[in-house]
């Protein structure tokens, strides 16, 4: 789910359109207020003159008393302007610049760091340009059915699949209610028991709450990490996507263990998981691997991180896909 150059340009156009639209709204408001209240136009002009005078004085010499005098004059003028507005039924900030995001002022960045709103724009674009939007409409808690899980207790298990999934779903709802709380989850189980479905359920709820969420398969994740590792000097759309991997509020890694595993994959996985733990960002992993297999494949170091920082939920039961196919 890396950003293409066209997708990145589309987000840049979105921010440009926002700035232009808000600029026109701001100008229309000024025109309206200046016509109704000429005194406010005079106040803005005087504030501008005072600011120019202060700027010239600071270039010539630092004069703290003069600086404070100018600031006090502008404060008095601003207060008078706000009083005129509020007495006439307008908000006191009616003439202030308008922003969709006050944190980055609709630039998408705070310094060199992507703003939360930029990450949300990336999420919205990636999901709208992929099948995930349609998938989340079909796979969510409203369409979840526990009837696919048997009441029969399976060998070596303490609870029936249905009781077990009820407990797991309850934990999912608690995870969502407390989000963001830096919690992490592993869904473990064989093919077709609902691991990916539950991940989609959580993703939809988190995105509906306005948080950023990125879903990647293990193959997609390691392709992206490899592309970045071998192009370290480039700042392109792949590096932007990698930043999002590290910074999004919730990262979902699906089917971990199905990729070709080597030292590079193991080291990159540790980097990804560790970086997100440091930044206190939540991660959900789904895997077919058992605890023993996970430890063997991904090293003691990664296994230790998972055990310390993730809640591990084993999902078991009959293959739901097989059950659905028999019903059609």
For residues 178-205, b (16+ Cβ closer than 10 Å) or e, as one string? ebeeebbbbbbbeebbbbbbbbbbbbbb
E runs forming strands in the chain: 109-110, 113-114, 185-188, 213-217, 250-256, 282-287, 311-314
With a cut of 50, say whether residue 16 has pLDDT above it. yes
Instruction: Give the pLDDT of residue 130.
Output: 58
Q: Which residue has the tokens 């830096």?
A: 182
Whether residue 103 lies inside any domain: the answer is no
pLDDT at residue 196 in the model:
92
> CB-based contacts of 198: which residues, under 8 Å, 6+ apart?
144, 168, 169, 172, 187, 315
122 within some domain? no
Look-up of token digits 């926002």: 18
Please give the model's pTM, rounded to 2 decimal places.
0.67
**Range of 60-69, 199-208, 261-270, 312-321 with top mean pLDDT:** 199-208
Q: Are residues 82 and 147 in the same domain?
A: no
Contact 126, 237 (CB under 8 A): no
SS3 content of the chain, % helix, strand, coil (to 5): 60, 10, 30
Domain boundary residue, one of 87, 117, 144? 87
- The answer to whether 101 touches 115, Cβ cutoff 8 Å, is yes
Q: Please state which of the ranges 268-277, 295-304, 315-324 shows the lowest mean pLDDT.
A: 315-324
Integer Cα distance of 9 and 237 in angstroms: 10
pLDDT digits (tens, 9 = 90+) for 142-171: 999 988 899 888 888 788 999 999 999 999
Tens digit of pLDDT for each residue in 214-261? 888 888 888 887 776 666 544 444 455 677 788 888 999 999 988 777
Helix/strand/coil for 158:
coil
- The answer as to whether 105 is a domain residue is no
Q: Please report, for the domain that includes residue 155, its CATH number.
A: 3.40.50.300
What is the bridge-based pairing of β-strands 109-110 and 113-114? Answer: antiparallel
Instruction: Reply yes or no: is the peptide bond before residue 121 cis, omega within 30 of 0.
Output: no
Query: In this predicted structure, what is the pLDDT of residue 86?
Result: 94
Identify whether the C-beta of residue 220 lies closer than 8 Å to the C-beta of residue 256. no
Quick one: 47 and 180 in the same domain?
no
pLDDT score of 2 more than 70:
no
Residue 194 clears pLDDT 60, i.e. is over it: yes
In this predicted structure, what is the pLDDT of residue 229?
67
Q: How many structural domains does the chain have?
A: 2
Using the 3D structure, point to which of 67, 87, 107 is the last residue of a domain: 87
> Which one, of 215, 197, 188, lies nearest residue 146 by Cα?
197
Give 253's strand partners. Answer: 216, 285
Q: What is the pLDDT of residue 59?
A: 82
pLDDT at position 186: 95
**For residue 274, what are the contacts with CB-CB under 8 A and spacing of at least 6?**
305
The domain containing residue 76 runs over which residues?
5-87
Contacts by 224-231 with C-beta closer than 8 Å and gap 24+? 224/2, 225/268, 225/271, 225/272, 226/264, 226/268, 227/2, 229/264, 229/268
Are 149 and 289 members of one domain?
yes
Query: pLDDT tens digits, residue range 93-138?
Result: 999 999 999 999 999 999 888 888 887 887 777 666 656 777 888 8
How far apart CA 34 and CA 36 sit, in angstroms, is 6
Count how many Cα atoms sit within 13 Å of the Cα of residue 38 in the half-sphere of its side chain. Answer: 0
Query: For 25-75, how does the pLDDT look when each residue is reduced to its tens digit (9 = 90+)?
Result: 999 999 999 999 999 999 999 999 988 988 888 887 777 888 888 889 999
Contact 159, 153 (CB under 8 A): yes
**Token output for 215:** 């879903």
Residue 112 in any domain: the answer is no
Pair (48, 148) in one structural domain: no
The reply to whether 82 and 187 lie within a common domain is: no
Final residue of a structural domain among 58, 87, 116: 87
Whether residues 80 and 140 share a domain: the answer is no
Residues pairing with 110 in the sheet: 113
Q: How confident is the model at residue 6 (pLDDT cuts 50, 70, 90)?
A: confident
d(CA 2, CA 180): 24
């Amino acid at each position: 789910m890396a950003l293409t150059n066209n997708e990145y340009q589309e987000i840049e156009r979105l921010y440009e359109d926002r700035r232009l639209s808000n600029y026109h709204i701001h100008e229309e408001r000024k025109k309206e207020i200046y016509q109704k209240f000429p005194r406010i136009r005079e106040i803005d002009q005087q504030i501008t003159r005072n600011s120019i005078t202060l700027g010239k004085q600071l270039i010539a010499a630092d004069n703290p008393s003069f600086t404070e005098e100018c600031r006090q004059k502008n404060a008095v003028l601003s207060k008078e302007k706000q009083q005129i507005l509020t007495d006439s039924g307008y908000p006191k900030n009616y003439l202030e610049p308008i922003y969709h995001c006050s944190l980055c002022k609709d630039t998408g960045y705070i310094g060199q760091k992507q703003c939360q709103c930029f990450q949300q724009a990336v999420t919205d674009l990636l999901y709208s340009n992929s099948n995930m939007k349609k998938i989340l409409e079909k796979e969510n808690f409203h369409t979840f059915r526990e009837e696919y899980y048997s009441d029969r207790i399976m060998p070596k298990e303490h609870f029936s699949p249905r009781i077990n999934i009820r407990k797991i779903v309850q934990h999912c709802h608690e995870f969502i209610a407390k989000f963001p709380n830096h919690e992490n989850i592993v869904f473990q189980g064989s093919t077709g028991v609902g691991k990916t479905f539950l991940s989609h359920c959580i993703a939809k709820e988190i995105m509906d709450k306005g948080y950023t969420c990125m879903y990647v398969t293990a193959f997609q994740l390691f392709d992206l990490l490899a592309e970045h590792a071998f192009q370290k000097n480039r700042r392109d759309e792949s590096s932007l996507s990698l930043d999002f991997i590290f910074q999004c509020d919730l990262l979902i890694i699906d089917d971990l263990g199905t990729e070709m595993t080597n030292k590079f994959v193991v080291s990159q996985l540790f980097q990804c998981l560790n970086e997100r733990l440091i930044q206190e960002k939540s991660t959900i992993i789904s895997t077919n691997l058992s605890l023993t297999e996970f430890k063997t494949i991904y090293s003691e170091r990664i296994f230790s991180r998972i055990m310390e920082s993730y809640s591990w939920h084993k999902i078991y039961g009959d293959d739901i896909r097989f059950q659905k196919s028999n019903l059609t």
